[in-house]
Amino acid sequence: MVAMSAGIDLENVTCDFGPFRAVDAANVSIKPGEFFSFLGPSGCGKTTILRMISGFIEPTAGSIRIGGKDMRGQRPNQRPTALIFQNLALFPLMPIWENIAFGLEVRGVDKATRRKTAEDLLALVDLPDAADKMVSQLSGGQKQRVAIARALAVEPQVMLLDEPLSALDLKLRQHMRAELRAIQKRTGVTFIYITHDQGEALAMSDRVGVMSQGRIQQIADPRDIYNSPINGFVASFVGENNIFTGKVENPSQGMASFSTPHGTFRARLGDVGSGGVQARLYVRPEHTLLMAAPGPENSIPVTVAEVSFEGNFVAVHAVSDSGAKLMAEVRNDGSATLPAVGDRMHMAFDAGRAAILPDAATKG
Amino acid sequence: MRDLIRRYGTGLSTIICLLTAFWLVMLVIVPNMTLFEQSFRPYLPVAEIGGPRDVYSLSNYGKVLEGSVERSLFGIGFTIPVRVLTFTLTIWYSIVVTVICFLLAYPLAYYMAKIANPRALPTLILLLFVPLWVSEVLRAFAWWIILALKGPLNSLLLFIGAIEKPVRWIADYDAVMIGLVYTYVLFMIFPIYNAISSLDRNQIEAAEDLGAPWWRIHWRIVLPHAKPGIASGSVIVFMLSAGSLLVPSVLKSPNSQWFTETINETFNDALDWNTASAYAFLLLILCTLFVTLAMWVFRVKLSDIAK
């Protein structure tokens, strides 16, 4: 089954609920067949974007195009999209196969064909014998698959998924990630995925749009989102950080000095505006090195405050002599000796692994 | 029971149980059993009660088949016992009332449950309840005045030009049905409203997202979900209509007769309690049978209604 897939363009899409601006001038171009995620905390506007694309909410301003066609005034039942709801919204009074074939029934497809299509789709989502069961007889993961099959049945050009894995337990969630990705590759349909779980977004997506307070903060592939966040919000929402507040000095060739009460560090300079401004320095715990002797650059003397053994890594919390709280994640390669609480050590980081970033872009 | 005693103490629990038992036994079971027993005995002068002619028989029930009238339906003439005819018409018009109540109640209940602003809902429900504060007698008479040949309804329709000469509303069973619908429609609205309220809005949106037009969303999603509410509303409205005495007697026309009126006349005019009891139990039994049959046809279970 190869369905047509379509690209989606949002152009200055804005949505107001009374005085509250839920989405503020969103611009994004999603390619046909792409797996695109909107990632952000609850209330950031990501679900509103999804509901605008599916047609349940009209944008206050701006335009949405699907496959190049302007969607203004098109009801959800006229759009080439299929939405998978957070609670799945399966129809509990219909057997599974009627659930899946509902979209075909609406289109006037005859019963034998509907049944055949439903069974084919059940095979696709790996649930071959469920056709005559009722929704209440299925487990969470099976319902998930039925919801996907029901959406695929109408051969949508775009699939919209609203945190569909949030109700599942951890193991199943990780399994379904891979499953969803595989189904997306098999069908070639454009997937737009909404989540507040950074792991989900990074693991599945071709590209991720990180949102906060109605604004799209950064659109990039998962590696760039994690390794080169554009601002402080993206850096701290996606992953952990050691954060220093200070002043930018001597910017040159993308690097700068950063003077803080805990010392002066060298780091990559993000888009913080002209020199001398207040900004923050972000460095990931796994890029923070723990050493017995002072490092060549960006080194801080610390006292180990807490050591927590997490299995595949060890998180070392420490307090610097100047009072800064820092964390370093040390990979557990099986041979390393763990520091003890109270040990005097040094934490350091590469200038290239640390970034001086502005705070989040807010409503303008 | 142990729970009751723990919560209210032995004394209060005893009083609660005794009151409930009194209500059940003295006000429900005993009167009904008395009438039931009477319905099998002949109507006799006081002196002969308990005498040799006072024996149990089904003859009171058989009286429903006496006295035939001629009627024609779809051009086919036939004779039918007059009380069987009354009974059949009572059931038929009660069905019509139930269907009209459903047609009025469903859109309103859907509007209240899924479309109306939740803040406006208390006002809406209050507006629906206000007419219930007036007694049923007054409401029936109010309709009698509204529907009179020279009444306000005809004046209004003449004034806006909807009709050319006054309509005789109180003819056949028309006024009775209007009165019954008005009196009992609320008993249809609230069960349906409750049922639709519990429907997840995402289900409606999911159906729409899959391409369904509004009527198919109702046919496949909302109506099946509301079925228990529709069933209990229908049972209540049907039973109340078939058992109503006041509305059919106030709003009756020369050629409308409700079976409850027949029972009432036999009790109060003929003073034949034995036959009247037999009619009353016939009404009860046949209505129950009819409801059971309807529930079987529409595949509704008793447990659905009790929800």
Can you give the CATH number for the domain in which B239 is found? Answer: 1.10.3720.10
Task: State how far the Cα of B39 lies from the Cα of B273, in Å rounded to an integer.
Answer: 8
All CATH 3.40.50.300 domain ranges in chain A, comma separated: 8-232
Which tens digits make up the pLDDT trace of A118-171? 999 998 888 888 899 999 999 888 998 899 999 989 989 999 999 888 878 888
Q: How many CA atoms lie within 13 A of B2 on its CB side?
A: 0
Looking at residue B306, its pLDDT comes to: 65
Mutation for A interface: B209, B217, B225, most A CBs within 10 A: B209
Question: Average model confidence (pLDDT) for chain A?
Answer: 88
Contact A82 B220 (CB under 8 A): no
CB-CB neighbors (< 8 A) of B208 in chain A = 75-77
In this prediction the ipTM stands at: 0.79
pLDDT in tens, A99-125: 999 999 999 999 999 999 999 999 888
Query: Does residue B4 sit within a domain?
Result: no
Band (A1; pLDDT cuts 50, 70, 90): very low
Whether A154 contacts chain B with CB within 8 A? yes
- CATH 2.40.50.140 maps onto chain A at 240-357
Q: Is A145 helix (H, G, I), strand (E, B) or coil?
A: helix
B212 and A106 within 8 Å at the Cβ level: the answer is yes
By DSSP bridging, strand A263-269 and strand A255-260 are: antiparallel
CATH of A8-232, one of 3.20.20.70, 3.40.50.300, 2.10.60.10, 3.30.830.10: 3.40.50.300
CA distance B192 to chain A (A): 17
Q: Is B53 on the interface with A (CB under 8 A)?
A: no
Cα of B10 to nearest chain A Cα, Å: 45
Per DSSP (E only), the strands in chain B are: 68-73, 76-81
Interchain CB distance below 8 Å, B203 and A83: no
Confidence bin at A196 (pLDDT 50/70/90) = very high
Q: Is B211 on the interface with A (CB under 8 A)?
A: yes
Total domains present in chain B: 1
Q: Strand A355-357 relative to strand A263-269: parallel, antiparallel, unpaired? A: parallel
Could you tell me which of A85, A197, A76 has the C-alpha nearest to residue A147? A85
Question: Is residue B50 in a domain?
Answer: no
Q: Do B207 and A93 touch (CB under 8 A)?
A: no
Is the alpha carbon torsion for A90, A96, A100, A106 positive or negative?
negative
User: Which of A76, A89, A103 has its CB closest to that of B202?
Assistant: A89
B203 interface with A at CB cutoff 8 Å: yes
- CB pair distance less than 8 Å for B206 and A91: yes
List pLDDT tens digits, range A63-98: 999 998 999 989 988 899 999 998 899 999 999 999
**Residues on chain B touching A154 (C-beta within 8 angstroms):** 210-211
pLDDT value of position A97: 94
Instruction: Answer whether B112's CB lies under 8 Å from B121's CB.
Output: yes
Please tell me the predicted confidence (pLDDT) of residue A202.
Answer: 92
Residue B170: the pLDDT is 84
Q: Is residue B102 part of a domain?
A: yes
**Looking at this protein, which amino acid is placed at residue A191?**
F
The answer to whether residues B167 and B157 touch, using CB atoms and an 8 Å cutoff, is yes
pLDDT tens figures, A20-65: 999 999 999 999 999 999 999 988 999 999 999 999 999 999 999 9
Judge contact between B258 and B90, C-beta under 8 A: yes
Query: What's the pLDDT tens digit per position in B80-94?
Result: 888 888 999 999 999
Question: For residue range A247-305, what is the model confidence (pLDDT) as tens digits?
Answer: 888 888 888 888 888 888 989 888 776 555 678 899 999 999 888 888 888 889 999 99
Residue A2's pLDDT band, with cuts at 50, 70 and 90, is very low
Q: Are A89 and B200 an interchain contact pair (Cβ–Cβ within 8 Å)?
A: yes
Residues with pLDDT less than 70, chain B: 305-307
Q: Can you spell out the DSSP letters for A336-356?
A: PPPP-TT-EEEEE--GGG-EE
Tell whether A81 lies on the interface with B, counting CB pairs under 8 A. Answer: yes
A83 interface with B at CB cutoff 8 Å? yes
CA-nearest of A42, A40, A23, A16 to A219 is: A40
The distance between the two most distant Cα atoms of chain B, rounded to a whole number of Å, is 79
- Subunit contact A89:B225, Cβ cutoff 8 A: no
Number of residues assigned to chain A: 364
Question: Is B212 in Cβ contact with A102 (below 8 Å)?
Answer: yes
Strands (DSSP E) found in A18-68: 20-30, 35-39, 61-66
Predicted local confidence at residue A364, as pLDDT = 45
Calculate the average pLDDT of chain B.
88
Confidence of residue A176 (pLDDT cuts 50, 70, 90): confident
Confirm or reject contact between B198 and chain A (CB < 8 A): no
B286 is a domain residue:
yes
Alpha carbon distance B155, B169 (integer Å): 13
Pick the CATH number of A240-357 from 2.40.50.140, 3.40.50.300, 3.30.465.10, 3.40.640.10: 2.40.50.140
Is there a contact between A93 and B203 if contact means CB atoms under 8 Å apart?
Answer: no
Q: Which residues have a Cβ under 8 Å from the Cβ of B138 and sit 6 or more positions away?
A: none
Q: Which domain holds residue B144?
A: 69-305
Q: Which residue of B has its CA nearest to A55?
A: B209
Work out the angle at residue B100's Cα, subtended by the Cα atoms of residues B76 and B157, and round it to the nearest 5 degrees: 95
Q: Is residue B192 part of a domain?
A: yes
Task: Find the Cα–Cα–Cα–Cα dihedral A198, A202, A207, A212, rounded to 10°.
Answer: 10
Question: Quick count: other Cβ atoms within 10 Å of Cβ B261?
Answer: 17
